Amino acid sequence: MAVQKGGMLNASARDGVQYRKASIMQLVLGMANNGCGITFYLLMIYASYIGTQGYGMVPGLVGGILMAMRIFDGVTDALIATAFEKMSPKLPKVRIFLISGWVLASLGVLLLYNWAAGKFTGVAGIIVFIIVYVLYIMGYTINGMGGGTVGIMITNDPTQRSMVGLLSTAYSYLVPMLVGNIMAFLILPKHDNQYDMPCLAEACWLYVAISGVFMILCCIGVSKVDVPEMYEALAVSDGNKPKDGKKKKSGVTFKDIVAVLKDNRETQMYMLTCISDKFAQQMGTQAVITTLLSGVLIGNYQAAQMIGNVTMVVGLVCAFTGGVFVARFGAKKSTTVWSWASIALGIIMIVFCTILGPKGMSKIGAWGLPLILYCVLQIGFTATRMILTITGNVMRADVVDYELDRSGNYFPAVLAGVYNFIDKLITSVCSLIAGILIMVIGYVNTVPQQGDTPTWPILFMAVGVSVGLPIIGWLINVVCMKFYSLDKERMVQVAKNINEKKKEAQAAQQ
């Protein structure tokens, strides 16, 4: 592949394939928008709290609205992905989406948590809540669509793709640790450890500022990739030559999107694998569930956050080794191996928490054997989850290249949009389920807070949702990999096929 202007791409020949490579700095900065997205996501896990306290709604109603908003979010993903592909390649598409999306999302959350909160109740409260949430969704989706294409575009070298996955995972885990520390040690203590309106309003401003920093870093990192030469180089394909001989209209059609789902089994397996994991992860990170675990059972947000800090750092070091494993053996084998490892750890965690019981869980918050065992299990859990996140990122890039080889269409944004649509359609029920579940154990008109009495129903709910559901997702992973053919050897052949087709297309144009 030709080296583009400004030294944007470096060539690397291996396995008989000419790969495109990126510098370490491009990779580090280019993946920074993951930090932007995860910061907004972490802020919005408190939407159930602000909906109840700031707009006068019961938890069940808030959960239902959040479910509907999640479905709407999925629809916007598909539409905005199509808009991204149709936008002129002469424009810096990625940076336009990054900046405009961040502005809209920031406006939405500031309205939700600050400027509109506490001023509307009843029907008016419901309407205002929905309107500002929609504004946030549009911005978050636009920003995420721009950032979601960076890792796919920046390199197709298998060794670097595992690095992209590792960096993406690092942002996804280290950023929550950063903002979690700020919330636990700076903001919550000022508000008597209560997630009340003043607490969330203060957090909102800080989260918006942090997300803006990551967005700017990504704009810097992607500047050499987000150029016309890049889009033109990757647009060379036989997908623009329909069978009737007529020139295909530029841009993506709905038929193209349907074909990705209908005809590409590898895409189907990738989506099912990632969606099942995402569903379980989002259920486990719902604010009401984490409050049950950290605030009610362990009974100490600060201690729980310190445990999270230790396990996150050590887990990330372990995940680096896992990234090397992914680079060597490919996404398919890695997904199977580390899913089984996660299942084993999950079973041990359930047994451990059951033995401690609801009263004994508070021992985790003090120095002793329960704390040590809990930290060891959490380190293992965190490391395997990180590695599976890496395999998911590698798998997405592999599927994009496979679609280019299979159909001649290079659709990084469309595949991201289709995945996000299905992902959000299915996981839209998370907020509703969480709201219903806490009502089952007694939280009908209130939400869990630190200081509530720990009980067996609370233990079963917290551990079952945060550990039991992920086990089901990992079992689905193992089954899906039985039908997924893109192992390491197959991807080498896919890269060779793409190189040959581009050479043929370029020769035909001369």
Domain boundaries, the chain: 24-240+261-509
DSSP per-residue string spanning 71-100 = HHHHHHHHHHHHHHHHS-TTS-HHHHHHHH
Does pLDDT of 41 surpass 60?
yes
Does pLDDT of 1 surpass 50?
no
Output 258 or 481, whichever has higher pLDDT.
481
Q: Which amino acid is at 346?
A: G
Does pLDDT of 351 surpass 70?
yes
Does pLDDT of 238 surpass 50?
no
* Sequence-ordered alpha helix ranges (H) in 361-442: 369-407, 412-427, 429-440
Assigned token pair, 131:
């309107």
User: Most confidently modeled of 291-305, 340-354, 368-382, 490-504?
Assistant: 340-354
Q: Give the count of beta carbons closer than 10 Å to the beta carbon of residue 136.
A: 24
Contact 340, 376 (CB under 8 A): no
Query: 460: pLDDT confidence band, cut at 50, 70 and 90?
Result: very high
Contact 436, 62 (CB under 8 A): no
State how far Cα 316 lies from the chain centre. 17
Query: 341: pLDDT confidence band, cut at 50, 70 and 90?
Result: very high
Does pLDDT of 149 surpass 80?
yes
Full-model pTM:
0.70
User: Does domain 24-240+261-509 sit in CATH 1.20.1250.20?
Assistant: yes
Measured distance CA(19)–CA(9) in Å, rounded? 9
Average pLDDT, the chain: 83
Partners of 14 in beta bridges: 17
Does pLDDT of 242 surpass 60?
no
Q: What angle do CA 278, 284, 286 make, to 5 degrees?
A: 100
